[in-house]
Amino acid sequence: MILTNESFLESGTVSEETMPAQNPEQQVEKMFEYGYRKSNYGPDELVTDAHGNPISVVDAMMKPEDAAKMETSTPHLCYYSPRIPGNTGSAIRLCAVTGSVLHLVEPLGFNLRDTKLRRAGLDYHDMAHVVLHPNFESLVESMPNSRIIAFTAHATKLYTEIEYKPTDILLFGPEPGNIPDPVDIMFGPHVAEQVRLPMRPSLRSLNLTNTASIALYEAWRQLGFEGGE
């Protein structure tokens, strides 16, 4: 749903006299303050970006076959069965600013219209390329020429020991919890390398998207930050 004059009136959040201008950018500014949705706007409302497009990861989804054809300056990023919407929202923002493609493999631990996901992604949803796969086989089949590099605390090789390519897929498993890393995914025959980030001993892990950010920027650094400024 794109916000229109009628939807603003029906929601009861504004009167006809205080109805916002038709400029989509002004509508967005009225609905958000410091990057957070104001409390008088319902969680199910979708806002528009400065171009009039809906800010929704669902509406901005890319088809797997289109993602495979994209020429990127950074590797692709893949979250297998992510559970925390804020992490995925932050990953959307990360991919928007680096030019990466974000692949999400089901099952997901949240609804893609989750308010926390949209909030963490701010207004970057329409600027990022996001692909939803029903299973891991869909990712492998859609990107047959890509090297999959799995990031896991059980690896022995450091993430800096890899020479990254824009066609690589940086694979991350579910956020730490009661379910262990899926061995068949993180160490399966489709994975070319398993790498880890160094940490102090006895500590469990970094935040998922913090880890992905470190990895993606290392890859982008190696590739000369092409496309950045």
Closest by Cα among 64, 225, 49, 77 to 138 = 64
Using one digit for the tens of pLDDT, what is the confidence trace for 207-225? 999 999 999 999 999 999 9
Strands 101-105 and 76-80: parallel
Hey, what domains does the chain have and what are their CATH numbers?
A: 1-55 (no CATH), 64-222 (3.40.1280.10)
Residue 173 is encoded by which pair of tokens? 């498993």
How many other CB atoms are found less than 10 A from the CB of residue 44? Answer: 9
> pLDDT: is 49 or 202 the higher one?
202
Q: C-alpha dihedral over 206, 210, 211, 215, to 10 degrees?
A: -160
Q: How far apart are CA 96 and CA 102, in angstroms?
A: 9
Which pLDDT score is estimated for 11?
A: 44
Residue 97 has pLDDT above 60, yes or no: yes
Q: How many residues does the chain have?
A: 229
Which pLDDT score is estimated for 172?
A: 95
Residue 219 is encoded by which pair of tokens? 């890859």
Instruction: Tell if the pTM clears 0.75, that is, is over it.
Output: no
Closest by Cα among 192, 193, 198, 191 to 214 = 198
User: How much is the mean pLDDT over the chain?
Assistant: 77
Residue 22 is encoded by which pair of tokens? 């038709």
| 3-state DSSP assignment of residue 170 | strand
Residue 23 has pLDDT above 80, yes or no: no
Using one digit for the tens of pLDDT, what is the confidence trace for 125-145? 555 688 999 999 999 999 999
Residue 183 is encoded by which pair of tokens? 């061995």
pLDDT band at 22 (very low <50, low <70, confident <90, very high): very low
Annotated binding site: 173, 197, 205
Q: Where would I find the beta strands (DSSP E) of 111-205?
A: 129-133, 148-151, 157-158, 169-172, 191-196
Annotated binding site for S-adenosyl-L-methionine: 173, 197, 205
pLDDT band at 77 (very low <50, low <70, confident <90, very high): very high
Task: Calculate the alpha carbon distances from 3 to 6, 43, 48 in Å.
Answer: 8, 13, 7
